[in-house]
Amino acid sequence: MKNTIIIAIALSGIAISACAQTLNWQAFQPGQKHLVHLQTGWDYGLNFGLGYARKSNTRWPVLTSIEYSFPAGERVFDDFKVRIGGQVEVIRAGGFSFTAKLYSPIRRYENNLVRLFSFGSEFSGVAGFYRKKWFVAGELGFDKAVATHVKHPKRALDNYPGLQNGWYVPTGGNWFYGLQAGFSFGSNDLTLKAGNLASQGWETAPFIPKYVVLGYNRRF
């Protein structure tokens, strides 16, 4: 029971930056295949992120990407999240667009009681109206830590002899849902997204149940 409580508390902080990159498909200009982005916001805490993506002109436009995010704190690289995956614009009808996103996040989180290293999956759908200069859309997604390695320091094991190190499968997840909007000018995008978080069973919410993320994209 004690072990379960500690894991639950720690997992409330492991989902660093649940929100993937936000973009305007219609803002891409001919010859633009690359995109770099920066983001910051309140998402389980104050976070910062950066990433790179490449656009493929297939039957359905595809953007593959790698992203790195980390929370504010004294030690910049102790906690982090790396997300690898991409998104595809499945439907475009006039100004309406629907995008499917699929990512594989890798997370590390540590506090005085436990160190967690997690592999997971994240998927979401984004639907809205897009123009070359602006867009507004809604998003619904699910972020799950599929497998988490738990390691307790000696002081935690001394205080709680029942604690166990090792892999736990699965270790829960969160839904996220909200709105996003953006303004595009030249080869630049400014984006803003905000929404709510809920537990896997929709019965509870994380300690901080809302997120707000400001982003900047540069296309080239």
Lowest mean pLDDT among 68-77, 83-92, 143-152, 163-172: 68-77
> What is the rounded average pLDDT of the residues 205-213?
88
Domain count, the chain: 1
Residue with tokens 């594989």: 104
Name beta bridge partners: 145.
120
User: With bands split at pLDDT 50, 70 and 90, how would you rate the model's confidence at 10?
Assistant: very low
Report pLDDT for 160: 86
Burial label for 52, CB within 10 Å (0-12, 13-18, 19+), is: middle
Report pLDDT for 12: 47
Q: Which two tokens stand for residue 147?
A: 């497998």
Positive or negative, the CA dihedral 216, 174, 121, 78 is positive
CATH number of 107's domain = 2.40.128
Can you give the residue range of the structural domain that contains 172?
Answer: 2-219
Residue 16 has pLDDT above 60, yes or no: no
CB of 32 closer than 8 Å to CB of 56? no
User: With bands split at pLDDT 50, 70 and 90, how would you rate the model's confidence at 5?
Assistant: very low
CB of 13 closer than 8 Å to CB of 46? no
Residue 205 has pLDDT above 90, yes or no: no
User: With bands split at pLDDT 50, 70 and 90, how would you rate the model's confidence at 95?
Assistant: very high
Question: What pLDDT digit, counting tens, does each position of 112-152 carry?
Answer: 888 999 999 999 999 999 999 999 999 999 999 999 999 99
Q: Which two tokens stand for residue 143?
A: 């972020």
Positive or negative, the CA dihedral 147, 193, 66, 61 is positive
User: With bands split at pLDDT 50, 70 and 90, how would you rate the model's confidence at 22?
Assistant: very high
CB of 29 closer than 8 Å to CB of 216? no
Question: What pLDDT digit, counting tens, does each position of 161-203 carry?
Answer: 888 899 988 777 899 999 999 999 999 999 999 999 999 889 8
Tell me the chain's radius of gyration from C-alpha atoms. Answer: 18
CB of 197 closer than 8 Å to CB of 39? no
For 58, phi then psi, to 5°, come to -95, -170
